[in-house]
Amino acid sequence: MKKILITLLIGLVSMDFFANIELPSIFSDNMVLQRNSKIKIWGWGNPGEKINIVASWNKNDTISTKVDRHSNWSVEIKTNDNKNPQRLDLYGYNHIKVENILFGEVWLASGQSNMEWNAAAGITKGEEAIENAANKKIRFFQIPKRSSKFPQQELTANWRINSPETMQEFSAIAYFFANKLSKDLGDIPIGIIGSYWGGTPAEIWIPKNKFKKDSILQKAVTKLPKEPWGPNEPAYAFNAMIHPITNYKIAGVVWYQGESNTSNAEYYQNTFKELIYSWREVFNTNFPFYYAQIAPYDYGQDNFNGVLVREAQRKSLNIPNTGMVFTGDVGNPKDIHPRNKKPVGERFANLALNLHYNKIDKEYYGPLFSQSYSKSDSLIVEFSHAKELHFINNQSLFEVAGHDSIFYPAEAVIKNTKVILSSNKVNNPLWVRYAWKNDAEPNLMNEENLPASGFLEKIE
């Protein structure tokens, strides 16, 4: 009899140990699922175990699946635009319930410290922003800082409802983005996944397989210094902080990074391109990728490293379905972490509202270089997004150069969407540049008082 009881106990313990189905932590109470979409739900369990999934928004259609021999399972389910909180029940040998689910727009916010910076760390009018953080339809999923040599399946985090207590610990830019987006879309729930790490270069956010095929990426990595505050090894942040969520349906990405790539700025345009395309590949969708151009900052007077990163970001606008937030007027040349985060977050929202949701018809860019050419004794520079083009002071930040590549200040006069330049020191100008210093604060604005991006271009 004693042997029989021991055998039964061992069997019960074994069944309990191996039978439990599991969900990744991103499927937790208070989550936001992308509305009107086909989403993937996945997890783990005992090989051969049958799982029944019941969604409150589709109670008449139970979805069934089996755990495969590798202990994995996944199903696809459609969401709608129901505005009421929903529930998900999963039945295997155990029962999992996920409650207070909202359907809305899900965005991934990533990058380095300027994206990571929260209201508790100190931002312009931070106390007011914290006090007014009352929209409970905004939900945060903050991924902890982790690095790994190999791609991970899971991470430890949970969804949190927006409140003064939770908002102040999350990315301030991402919060302001979500708050404006929610209001302007008609009180729609917004889920923000925060995956950021201050001081990190772009290379650690790119999948490892991309480095095997790209010699420029390989060279870029060799110029990254080792720092005490984070990894510099290729893919280490991607593996631990992006890979585990690549099956989760998102609307798009907002990105603020580049300061830590001033050490290899000449490679940044290629690096950034690879990051964008690789993320779209692993998420299996051509989502919008919106990014902030790094703000003016004194990286040293003996280099153009900050300018080169900004230039790479400007030129990255040729990648389809991208958009750039201009920050030249809200930076702090003496502080690499400018505290005026609200305009940046709301400019991200304006990009999404214009380009992705087609909800507002409002200028979302600062003046952008279009073309340049010589006419008589003058040099003409044309701009797009240049309605009511004007200077906010009399200082000219334009320079021209000839065959010797020595740049001289140029006098500038605005005519409609053009700037007419002249210099008595350059007879045959071949090059033109604007705001070409690391800490240069642009003074050329459009009707929305958005600043022009600096640039370096050859004259046509």
Q: Do 168 and 280 share a structural domain? A: yes
95 CB contacts (<8 Å, ≥6 apart)? 89
- Give yes or no for residue 6 having a pLDDT over 90: no
Query: By residue range, what is the domain housing residue 428?
Result: 368-458
Residue 295 and residue 164 share a domain: yes
Provide the mean pLDDT of the chain.
95
Residue with tokens 């299996």: 284
Say if 247 falls within a structural domain: yes
Domain identity same for 342 and 416: no
The number of beta carbons lying within 10 Å of the beta carbon of residue 318 is 9
d(CA 181, CA 159) in angstroms, rounded, equals 19
- Tell me which amino acid residue 80 is: N
The answer on 120 and 203 residing in a single domain is: yes
Residue 377 has pLDDT above 70, yes or no: yes
Q: Identify the bridge partners of residue 322 per DSSP, sorted by sequence position.
A: 289
**Residues 83 and 126 both lie in one domain:** no
What CA–CA distances, in Å, run from 439 to 295, 303, 325? Answer: 8, 11, 17
The total of structural domains in the chain comes to 3
Structural domain includes residue 363: no
Residues ≥6 apart with Cβ < 8 Å to 196: 109, 110, 111, 112, 113, 115, 116, 171
Q: Of 330, 356, 382, which marks where a domain is finished? A: 356
Residue for token pair 């106990």? 9
* Structural domain contains residue 361: no
Residue 326 pLDDT exceeds 60:
yes
Is this structure's pTM higher than 0.75?
yes
- 234 and 135 belong to one structural domain: yes
pLDDT digits (tens, 9 = 90+) for 32-48: 999 999 999 999 999 99
What does the block give as tokens for 159? 């969804």
Q: Measured between alpha carbons, how far is 322 from 74 in angstroms, rounded to an integer? A: 31
* pLDDT tens per residue across span 86-102: 999 999 999 999 999 99
Tokens coding 213: 């095929």
Q: Which two tokens stand for residue 151?
A: 């791609």
Distance CA 64, CA 370 (A): 55
- The per-residue pLDDT for range 221-277, each reduced to its tens digit, is 999 999 999 999 999 999 999 999 999 999 999 999 999 999 999 999 999 999 999
Look at residue 13 in the predicted model and tell me its pLDDT: 47
Do 222 and 351 fall within a single domain? yes
Examine the domain organization and report whether 348 and 380 are in the same domain: no
Tokens of residue 50, six digits: 């049958």
Beta-carbon contacts of residue 137 (< 8 Å; ≥ 6 apart)? 102, 104, 162, 182, 187, 188, 189, 190
Q: Are residues 317 and 274 located together in one domain of the fold?
A: yes
Q: Are residues 335 and 250 in the same domain?
A: yes
